[in-house]
Amino acid sequence: MQGRVKTREKPGKRSASHPSNTGSGGAPTLSSLPYTMGELMVAAAAREIRDREVVFVGMRLPLIAFVVAKKTHAPEAIGLFENGVIRATPSAELIYTMADPPNIFQATQCLNMLGVMSLLQSGRVDLGFLGAAEVDRFGNLNSTEVSTEYRVPSTEKIERRVIRLPGSGGACDIASLANRFVVVLEHAKHRLPERVAYVTSPGNGDGAGWRTKVGLPRGGPSAVITTKCVLRFGEDGGAYLDSVHPGVAVEDVVGNTGWTLKVAASMKQTQEPNEAELKAIREYDKEGFWTT
């Protein structure tokens, strides 16, 4: 981690008697414990969920974000999974795929894929979390293919080859039909190009008004949460820098983004995870499987 961003060490590595780790009675406090970048991103993602919203959760960090939101500010949010599972409460233990038995056990409903996708089509999904190989300045996502230079061993010539990726899954449906979507990904210049190599899931197309023009009735990207910052979208449909994570310089973010990134006049530091958020994260993902 850069600057003053704190990193979470493995259990037992940090002494509980360290002054920065204790409260007035000498007991450790969660708010003084270090945290990982993954935990910071989870907390930021959790704050995108509003109470009583229906949320396409997905896996990895958004899964934990749903748990955090439920245990803090959004107790009545509902989680959807692409395989048809609907949960009013998070699974009792950590899951690694959406089909894991703990996610099925005591679920609110177990539909098929058509069942949950019909909720999207009828406009009843407020928020969806998505990942991608690339996201561009207008929030379009690519998870279909990327090209790379390859040196042919026999000739030493440089060729450009296409690498196929897993594809859309349900991401295109979520990006097209949810009331809004949030992207979570690593911040690297090649992953944030000015235009994606292939539009797997639509954001704002080529700018303001594009979604209406092509017949998408609602939604679009509302935020991109990266390992360096949070981007949001302006009236022109383009992304701007809303906040930088603790210890990250604005110049670092701008220099590692593939277009000339606008910086909001009100740009701020991303809020660090608080005690309640860290408690929810660590009680659910005890070993830091998804967050370290």
190 is written with which tokens?
A: 């090649």
Out of 39, 53, 82, 134, which one is annotated catalytic?
82
CB 225 within 8 A of CB 41: yes
The total of other beta-carbon atoms located within 10 Å of residue 103's CB is 25
With 0-12 / 13-18 / 19 or more C-beta atoms within 10 angstroms meaning exposed / middle / buried, residue 48 is buried
Closest residue by Cα to residue 135 from 199, 41, 219, 42: 199
Q: Give phi and psi for 177, each to the nearest 5.
A: -120, -15
Tokens matching residue 238: 């383009």
* DSSP label of 99: T
Residues contacting 99, CB < 8 A, separation 6+: 83
Closest alpha carbon to 163 in 197, 112, 121 = 197
* 29 in Cβ contact with 21 (< 8 Å): yes
User: Tell me, what DSSP letter sits at residue 272?
Assistant: P
- Buried residues in 148-175 as b, exposed as e (16+ CB within 10 A): eeeeeeeeeeeeeeeeebeebebbbbbb
**Phi, psi angle pair for 141, to nearest 5°:** -115, 145
d(CA 191, CA 120): 27
CB 204 within 8 A of CB 214: no
159 is catalytic: no
β pairing state of 262-269 and 239-244: parallel
Active-site amino acid positions: 82
